[in-house]
Amino acid sequence: MYALFTKEIKSFFGSLIGYVIIGVFLIANGIFLWVIPSSDNANIIDSGLATLEPLFVMAPWLYLLLIPAMTMRSIADEKMLGTLELIVTKPISDLQIILAKYFANLTILFLSLLPTVVYFFTVYNYGAQKGNIDTGATLGSYIGLFLLGAIFIAIGIFSSSVTKSQIISLIIAIILCIFCYMGFEYISELNFFGEYALLVDQLGISYHYYSVSQGQIDSRDVVYYLSAIVFFILLTKLVLSERKW
């Protein structure tokens, strides 16, 4: 399992696309947070506030594209190259294969978030009053953003398991991530749900991400995140257990 974990990371950083994905994420965040003028506090300098809240508002929208791009090769590429058949002949279970790829992508996600800590130290040191930033809330928001990415990775790996095409995997993952993130919110606004509208809204990721992105870590939100991750990992295992190639 560890060998597959390291292979996945080496494969990601062994190709130009890996650096492009992380580079686009960091550059796009940097441009939106520090360069492009904004009247709705999306730009940290224009907002005049010692907070990284704009990062936690902007990053999920970038995740909707970049994480599917990051995970699209996970299993689809193994199927296309025929290497998945070789992997399953080794003493490793389907679940271990999935978890190795999942934790490898989770490590890559962590590495892509790590450079954004520079934003924190910039705000911390160069505010009107040094250290005038809510460190606890910022840490909680980072945890929420990481958990959000963890769900998208689980969705991306599931999408990669249902096809041999990286492009189709990318498209499926983007659609599923968008639907799971904000689809339930829009559905809950339809008139015919009545008193159950809130329940429908709570099925969506955005409902739980909103409070966590404010630095408020609620056990119910954490349980939701973990349940969603387990759900898509088990779906992926179900797909792999019904091999028809």
**Tens of pLDDT, residues 162-191:** 999 999 999 999 999 999 999 998 888 887
**Tens of pLDDT, residues 185-227:** 888 888 777 778 888 889 999 888 887 777 677 888 899 999 9
Residue type, 193: F
Say if CB 203 and CB 197 are below 8 A apart.
no
Say if CB 124 and CB 131 are below 8 A apart.
yes
Cα Rg for the chain, rounded, in angstroms? 19
Say if CB 229 and CB 152 are below 8 A apart.
no
According to DSSP H, which parts of 72-134 are helical? 76-81, 83-88, 94-113, 117-126
Say if CB 43 and CB 125 are below 8 A apart.
no
Q: What is the pLDDT of residue 111?
A: 92
Give the number of domains in the chain: 1
Residues 6+ apart with CB under 8 A from 118: none
Q: What is the pLDDT of residue 245?
A: 47
- Taking residue 199's Cβ as centre, other Cβ atoms within 10 Å add up to 11
Q: What is the pLDDT of residue 47?
A: 63
Name the stretches of the chain with pLDDT < 50. 244-245
| Residue 191 per-residue DSSP state | G
> Token pair 């911390």 is at which residue?
124
Say if CB 44 and CB 127 are below 8 A apart.
no
- Give dist(CA 26, CA 145) in Å, integer: 14
- Taking residue 132's Cβ as centre, other Cβ atoms within 10 Å add up to 12
The residue length of the chain stands at 245
Range of the domain at 34: 2-241
